[in-house]
């Protein structure tokens, strides 16, 4: 068998190879993990008191405590998703944060996350974001919970003794 055929079989799941779909959780983990961590770092860099004041204005009880809970959930949950560790467990509080954000902040602004208001000499001016991105993050979390963390994940290492999630028993073609 020639090298080109072997590589195609490996990449695209042709007979004797692994389906490329098994790699799909990796970009989801990268996007969700880094995205959550970025939001956590942004809140932390502006100061927890600033975020606590926002939560207080939204009538969130124990706003200082909830500010820290939110920031830590975004940072540690994002890192866990990025590494593919405890994905099903950390997805719950992360999904809760997204739902709270949708219903307390983004819902009044509609679906679209990008609202171009004007283009000035200073650049593009945007309106308040809707809940579109929150729904995309939720969909990614659901996909990760349902499909597993995928190859090169801690969940796969712990669950199977190696860096991949084995589906051989579920799909005999693999």
What per-residue confidence (pLDDT) applies to 139?
97
What per-residue confidence (pLDDT) applies to 159?
73
What per-residue confidence (pLDDT) applies to 1?
56
Gap between the Cα atoms of 102 and 112, Å rounded: 12
Gap between the Cα atoms of 174 and 171, Å rounded: 6
Domain borders along the chain are: 23-160
pLDDT tens figures, 129-174: 999 999 999 999 999 999 999 989 999 888 765 544 444 444 444 4
Tally of CB atoms within 10 A around 89: 12
**Phi, psi of 169, deg, nearest 5:** -75, -25
What per-residue confidence (pLDDT) applies to 157?
84
Exposure of 152 in the CB half-sphere (CA atoms within 13 A)? 10
What per-residue confidence (pLDDT) applies to 154?
93
What per-residue confidence (pLDDT) applies to 15?
52
> How confident is the chain (174 residues) per 10-residue block, as mean pLDDT?
65 58 92 98 96 95 96 98 96 97 94 91 92 96 94 84 46 45
What per-residue confidence (pLDDT) applies to 12?
60
What per-residue confidence (pLDDT) applies to 89?
97
What per-residue confidence (pLDDT) applies to 22?
84
């Amino acid at each position: 068998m020639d090298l080109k055929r072997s590589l195609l079989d490996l990449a695209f799941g042709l007979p004797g190879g692994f389906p490329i779909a098994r790699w799909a959780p990796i970009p989801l983990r990268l996007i969700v993990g880094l995205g959550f961590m970025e939001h956590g770092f942004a809140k932390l860099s502006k100061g927890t008191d600033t975020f606590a004041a926002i939560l207080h204005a939204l009538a969130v009880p124990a706003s200082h405590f909830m500010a820290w809970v939110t920031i830590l959930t975004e940072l540690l949950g994002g890192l866990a998703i990025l590494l593919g560790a405890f994905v099903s467990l950390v997805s719950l509080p992360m999904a809760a944060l997204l739902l709270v954000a949708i219903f307390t902040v983004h819902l009044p602004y509609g679906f679209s996350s990008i609202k171009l208001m004007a283009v000035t000499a200073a650049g593009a001016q945007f309106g308040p974001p809707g809940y579109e991105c929150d729904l995309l993050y939720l969909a990614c979390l659901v996909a990760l919970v349902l499909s597993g963390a995928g190859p090169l994940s801690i969940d796969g290492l712990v669950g199977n003794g190696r860096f991949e999630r084995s589906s051989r028993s579920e799909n005999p073609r693999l």
